[in-house]
C-alpha cells in the first residue's frame, strides 16, 4: 500500500535530497547524472520529487529497488513502447493501477515484480515492448533477484557486465532481443545460474569458457553470430547440463567428444554452423540423450556404430546436409 509522507520542513527536504543524491551516486557514479536525459537522472528526479512515497535515504531496500526499477523503465520505454503498465495511463492498459511503474504503490506490486518479505526476487517483463538500451547496470542493485526474464522485447546494446554481480541469479532469459557485442565473461560469477538463454540476438565473438558454471543446466545461444569452437568447459565445468543449443551461428571445429561426460544431457543442437571433423561414437552412449541435431554443417566420416549397437533413448537424430 502507498504510504503517506510525513510533513517536512524546508531544511528537512534539503537534507533528504542531499542524502538521496549521495546514495545514488554511490550506486551509479557521478558521471551518469551529468546528463539530465540519462535514465539514471530521470530516475533520480522521480525519486526526489515525483515518487508519491517520498522516501528517505534510509528507507531500505525500497529506495534502491525503486531507483533500479525506475532506471530500467526510463532506459527501455523508448517512444512509449511498453505494452502493459507503463507509468502513463494514456499509453498502456494495466489490470490494476497499483501495478503501474512509477505509481505510489509498493514496487513489489508493480507489473512483473515478485517480492519475498519486501525484497525483489523475480523480475519478469517478457514480451512487454521494452525497447532501447543498453540495459542499465543498476539491475545489479536488485541483489536478491533469482529470475531475470526480459525475453521477446526490443532491447539493444550489450549485456551489462554488472549482471555478473547478481549473485542469487538462477534464471537469465534475454532471448529474442537485439543485443550485440559478446557474452560477458562476468556471467561466470553467477554460481547459482541454472538457465542461460540468450538466443536470437546479434551476439558476436566466441563462447567464453567462464559462463559454464557448476550449476548450469540449460544453455541456449542459438541464432546469434558466434564464432570459434565449443569450449572444453562446456562438458568439464557444467556436468549437469540437460540442454545445449548452439545452433544457427558460425561455430567451427568439431563436435566435442567430451559430450559423453554429460550424463544428464537430453538435447544437443548444433545445426547450421561450420562444424567439421567426424563424430565420436561415445557421445551416443548416454541413455539420457533423446535429441541430437548437427544438420547443415561440414561434418564427414561415417555414422558411428554406437548408434546401431546400443539401446539409446534417441527420438530425434538429424545429420542432413553434411559430408
pLDDT digits (tens, 9 = 90+) for 23-48: 999 999 999 999 999 999 999 999 99
Element holding 131 (H helix, E strand): strand 131-132
Q: Compute the chain's Rg from CA coordinates.
A: 23
Count Cβ atoms below 10 Å from residue 85 Cβ, excluding itself: 24
For residue 71, give the DSSP letter.
H
pLDDT category of residue 5 using cuts at 50, 70 and 90: low
- What span, in angstroms and rounded, lies between the C-alpha atoms of 187 and 285? 31
For residue 209, give the DSSP letter.
G
Residue indicated by cell numbers 565473438? 205
- What span, in angstroms and rounded, lies between the C-alpha atoms of 40 and 72? 9
Predicted local distance difference test score (pLDDT) of residue 1 = 54
Three-state secondary structure call for residue 307? helix
Q: Dig out the grid coordinates for 100 from the structure.
A: 503501474
- Which domains does the chain carry? 98-318 (3.80.10.10)
The pairing of beta strand 119-124 with beta strand 316-318: unpaired
pLDDT above 70: residue 277: yes
Alpha carbon separation from 38 to 71, 89, 235 (Å, rounded): 9, 23, 42
Element holding 21 (H helix, E strand): helix 10-28
Q: Dig out the grid coordinates for 121 from the structure.
A: 526476487
Predicted local distance difference test score (pLDDT) of residue 305 = 85
% of the chain at pLDDT higher than 90: 85
Q: What is the pTM of this model?
A: 0.94
Element holding 319 (H helix, E strand): none
When pLDDT is averaged across residues 81-106 and rounded to a whole number, the result is 90
Task: List phi, psi (to 5°) of 50.
Answer: -110, -15
pLDDT digits (tens, 9 = 90+) for 114-154: 999 999 999 999 999 999 999 999 999 999 999 999 999 99
Predicted local distance difference test score (pLDDT) of residue 2 = 52
Q: Provide the mean pLDDT of the chain.
A: 94
Name the E strands within 150-193: 154-155, 171-173
Query: What does the DSSP assignment read for 112-124?
Result: TEEEETTEEEEEE
Q: Dig out the grid coordinates for 125 from the structure.
A: 517483463
Q: Which of 78-82, 100-104, 250-254 bottoms out in mean pLDDT, i.e. has the lowest?
A: 78-82
pLDDT digits (tens, 9 = 90+) for 284-316: 888 899 999 999 999 999 988 888 765 567 889
Amino acid at each position: 500500500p502507498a504510504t503517506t509522507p510525513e510533513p517536512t520542513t524546508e531544511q528537512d527536504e534539503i537534507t533528504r535530497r542531499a542524502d538521496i543524491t549521495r546514495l545514488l551516486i554511490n550506486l551509479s557514479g557521478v558521471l551518469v547524472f551529468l546528463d539530465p536525459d540519462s535514465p539514471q537522472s530521470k530516475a533520480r528526479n522521480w525519486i526526489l520529487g515525483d515518487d508519491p512515497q517520498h522516501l528517505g535515504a534510509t528507507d531500505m531496500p525500497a529506495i534502491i529497488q525503486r531507483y533500479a526499477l525506475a532506471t530500467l523503465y526510463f532506459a527501455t520505454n523508448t517512444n512509449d513502447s511498453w505494452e502493459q503498465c507503463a507509468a502513463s495511463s494514456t499509453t498502456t492498459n494495466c489490470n490494476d493501477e497499483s501495478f503501474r511503474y512509477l505509481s505510489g504503490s509498493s514496487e513489489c506490486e508493480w507489473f512483473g515484480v515478485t517480492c519475498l518479505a519486501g525484497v525483489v526476487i523475480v523480475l519478469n517483463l517478457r514480451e512487454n515492448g521494452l525497447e532501447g538500451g543498453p540495459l542499465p547496470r543498476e539491475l545489479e542493485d536488485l541483489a536478491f533477484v533469482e529470475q531475470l526474464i526480459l525475453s521477446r522485447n526490443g532491447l539493444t546494446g550489450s549485456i551489462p557486465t554488472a549482471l555478473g554481480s547478481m549473485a542469487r541469479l538462477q534464471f537469465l532469459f534475454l532471448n529474442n532481443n537485439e543485443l550485440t557485442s559478446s557474452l560477458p565473461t562476468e556471467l561466470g560469477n553467477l554460481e547459482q545460474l541454472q538457465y542461460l538463454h540468450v538466443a536470437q540476438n546479434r551476439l558476436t565473438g566466441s563462447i567464453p569458457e567462464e559462463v559454464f558454471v557448476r550449476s548450469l543446466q540449460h544453455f541456449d545461444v542459438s541464432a546469434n553470430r558466434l564464432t570459434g569452437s565449443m569450449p572444453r568447459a562446456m562438458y568439464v565445468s557444467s556436468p549437469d547440463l540437460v540442454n545445449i543449443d548452439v545452433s544457427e551461428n558460425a561455430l567451427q571445429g568439431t563436435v566435442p567428444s567430451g559430450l559423453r561426460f554429460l550424463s544428464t544431457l537430453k538435447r544437443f543442437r548444433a545445426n547450421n554452423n561450420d562444424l567439421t571433423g567426424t563424430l565420436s561414437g561415445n557421445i551416443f552412449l548416454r541413455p539420457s540423450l533423446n535429441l541430437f541435431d548437427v544438420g547443415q554443417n561440414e561434418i564427414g566420416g561415417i555414422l558411428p556404430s554406437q548408434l546401431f549397437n546400443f539401446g539409446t533413448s534417441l527420438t530425434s537424430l538429424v545429420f542432413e546436409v553434411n559430408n
